Amino acid sequence: MRASGTADEIIGNDASTPDGAKAYYNSIIWKKEDTYTKTNSLYTQVEGKIQNYETQLRQLQKENMQMDLSVASCIDRNDDEGAKVYLARQQEITDKIETIKTTLKELKENRDVQKENLTALQEEIKSLKAEKDKAVFTLEAAETVKSLQSATSASSQEEDRMLEKVREGVQKTKEQADGTRIAYKNSIDVQMKRLDKKMKDEELQKKLDSLKAAKKK
């Protein structure tokens, strides 16, 4: 990195070469992939906890049913003390069941958020890789054009410099416009995908309800 020039200028110059652009894109993509890996790890942990709590919940529900039978048996035998013991135990089980249900609800909500984040990251990484390939190809093509111009236009350097200024201005304006369109398109895409998913879910529910209704007839 040279001593003169601002950091933005240095980065801009480096990124305007195929190798420089590739390096910057790879750095950003790597960070996104690292975030994806960490998010996926959290998602896996949450899934494991959900399965563990669901197993505990099923076991407690079985114990609760057994307590019902034990209390009923004590009542049939007029064993009030025994019934109280089972009822106390049943209350403990009921409290645990409610606690686990609340915890499961929170964990599942967290899992759904993590899943949505993973999907968004996957799409973003895929998009960045495609954008990188296009940018590198464009810069390589531009370098080739510049080399040809340099070899064939030695007698018109001033005109070439003027044209280059115009091209840079056009490219900068195009990139700014493309950036605005991409940001808008991404926003619309997210909304449409969610709407499509909602419509598909509603359609599937209608079909399911129809099949259930037909089966009852």
Q: In degrees, to the nearest 5, what angle opens at C-alpha 34 toward C-alphas 31 and 38?
A: 140
Burial class of residue 104 in the structure, from the number of CB atoms within 10 Å of its CB (0-12 exposed, 13-18 middle, 19+ buried): middle
Along the 217 residues of the chain, how does pLDDT read in single tens digits? 444 445 455 455 577 888 888 899 999 999 999 999 999 999 999 999 999 999 999 999 999 999 999 999 999 999 889 899 999 999 999 999 999 999 999 999 999 999 999 999 999 999 999 999 998 888 888 888 777 766 665 556 666 677 677 677 667 777 776 666 666 556 666 666 767 777 787 887 787 777 777 777 6
| pTM for this model (two decimals) | 0.55
Distances (CA, A) of 94 to 59, 64, 142, 193: 12, 7, 72, 41
Is the domain 11-152 a CATH 1.10.287 member?
yes
Residue 183 exposure: Cα atoms within 13 Å on the Cβ side? 6
- Distance in angstroms (rounded) separating the CA atoms of residues 30 and 186: 21
Residue 192 burial (C-beta neighbours within 10 Å; 0-12, 13-18, 19+)? exposed
